[in-house]
Amino acid sequence: MKALSRIDPMVRLLVLAIALAFLVPVGGEGRAVAQFIANGAVFLLFLLNGLRLPRHQVWEGMSNHRLLWPLIAWVFGAMALAGWALWQAGQGWMPPLIALGFLYLGCLPSTVQSATAYSSLAGGNVASSVVAAALLNILGVFVTAPLFSLLAGGHGTEFHADGLLKVIGMLLVPFVIGQSLQDRFGGWIKAHRPLVTWMDRTSIAIAVYVAFSGAVEQRFWIRVDASGWLWLAGGTALMLAIAHGGAWVLGGIVRLDRPNRISMLFAGAQKSIAMGAPLATVLFAPTSAGVILLPILLYHLTQLVLAAPLAARLSRN
């Protein structure tokens, strides 16, 4: 029980969501209802993010150009190209949807909460970490889906104006509403931080559950053989190495001081399941979304396991 309690709560919740999708997948007429609930949960997630992030921190963080511009280039440039390269290299070797999942992984922004928390533990610039990760997620609303569609070409999902409007309506609009209502409800958010955190995590878990239910209905384990699972593990390990090593080296190349270099490391290497799972339900068919999510799910779980000892080592140094 003590070992279980040390596991990150988000990891436990994601594992529970996947297990429920295996045991009680939602399908048929219930899928429309489940998708409506998942969309509502995603709207709530980004509304809470808007309420929680102080406006003055947004403006202050935007002035840290030495960190922000290299970070944006790394997350949406280098990492997207790394995902594209792995997708191309995996043609004929990996199951097609898993290979495509690595491209999708590369196009995602960083996660806000854990990138900030571990940057703080490691002695990074916390204010810059919060703002950088949040801005990357805002940019991700506009960038991730079109970038993925561009790099995937005819092998991915075509992205049209109505898709962009749907993404904006689910992700950006609630964030803006949250920012506008911050003076009225920001105090309540601060006073109920544990409840809000669990609302965040539950929203993500619902999106994962709905996406995986479609994959379970299609019996995705038949579509992924033993070698496919090995490629999934190996590809995830490679992406983690590129992300962490590259972000740290880039921070040195642009001559960031140590606190900002640590912020670059965690914001540049971590990938957001909070963006990945909801967006997958918008971009991909239910029969494909669950399998395409496998790389980001494994990456997210592994990055949380690696982040704590990495932050502890950086703090000692």
Averaged pLDDT for residues 91-95 = 81
Averaged pLDDT for residues 88-111 = 88
Chain mean pLDDT for the chain: 80
Averaged pLDDT for residues 191-211 = 77
Choose from 91-105, 236-250, 252-266, 298-312 the range with maximum mean pLDDT. 236-250
* 158 phi and psi angles, rounded to 5 deg: -70, 140
Q: Please report, to the nearest 10 degrees, the dihedral formed by the alpha carbons of residues 128, 114, 53, 49 taken in order.
A: 150
Q: Is the pLDDT of residue 108 over 80?
A: yes
Left if phi > 0, otherwise alpha if psi is -120 to 50, otherwise beta: which for 307? Answer: alpha
The SS3 call for residue 54 is coil
pLDDT class for 154, splitting at 50, 70, 90? low
Q: Is the pLDDT of residue 166 over 90?
A: no
pLDDT class for 140, splitting at 50, 70, 90? confident
pTM of the model: 0.78
pLDDT at site 61: 60
pLDDT at site 273: 81
| DSSP string for 110-167 | --SHHHHHHHHHHT--HHHHHHHHHHHHHHHHHHHHHHHHHHHGGGS----HHHHHHH
Q: How many CB atoms lie within 10 A of CB 182?
A: 17
Averaged pLDDT for residues 197-206 = 76
42: which 2 tokens? 């995603």
Q: Above pLDDT 70, what percent of the chain?
A: 84
Per-residue pLDDT tens for 17-53? 888 887 888 776 777 787 788 778 778 877 877 787 7
d(CA 119, CA 250): 17
178: which 2 tokens? 């949250």
C-beta separation of 244 from 269 below 8 A: yes
pLDDT class for 6, splitting at 50, 70, 90? low
The domains located in the chain, with CATH, are 8-316 (1.20.1530.20)
The SS3 call for residue 314 is helix
pLDDT class for 303, splitting at 50, 70, 90? confident
pLDDT class for 236, splitting at 50, 70, 90? very high
Find how far residue 34's CA is from the centre of its chain: 21
Q: Above pLDDT 90, what percent of the chain?
A: 18
d(CA 125, CA 32): 43
d(CA 213, CA 38): 12
pLDDT at site 160: 53
The maximal CA–CA distance of the chain, rounded, in angstroms, is: 56
pLDDT at site 1: 45
Can you say whether the dihedral through the CA atoms of 256, 258, 259, 262 is positive or negative?
Answer: positive
Please choose, from the candidates 84, 305, 43, the residue with its C-alpha nearest in 3D space to the C-alpha of residue 175.
43
pLDDT class for 2, splitting at 50, 70, 90? very low
Q: Write the single-letter amino acid at 66.
A: R
pLDDT at site 159: 54
d(CA 115, CA 272): 10
Left if phi > 0, otherwise alpha if psi is -120 to 50, otherwise beta: which for 252? Answer: alpha
Q: Angle formed by the axes of helices 113-122 and 126-152, to 10°?
A: 140
Instruction: Identify which has the larger pLDDT, 160 or 267.
Output: 267
Choose from 72-76, 86-90, 121-125, 229-233 the range with maximum mean pLDDT. 72-76
